[in-house]
Structure 1
């Protein structure tokens, strides 16, 4: 289950119709706002931090979590 802040990060991926292995580059203000959630999601293997500044790719597990409806 995702926290509200983690769900907010996943909403960004959902908004851009991102699939597994695809990257989103977060604008600096958004990356700073969600830094803790991005770190947690990366540690949980839902996201992969890319070399590109503020770039994160969705993993297969992250894609499944993103597709899970929020309560």
Structure 2
């Protein structure tokens, strides 16, 4: 999955696959996580958020299933 670099204090890059609705996040510490069944609008809102980390914490973590890659 292609990820786009982002400016964040804890996220290095973010990718999204619309066909499988999979969101992939690479953290600055090297960890990569995939979140499943994430609607495209959530990905778009994440990419447009003033703080990617805050958006992730409030709108994705604890809501969508995930797996460490």
TM-score grouping bracket, smaller chain normalisation: under 0.3
Give the strand-richer structure, 1 or 2.
Answer: 2
TM-score norm. by structure 2 comes to 0.27
Give the helix-richer structure, 1 or 2.
Answer: 1
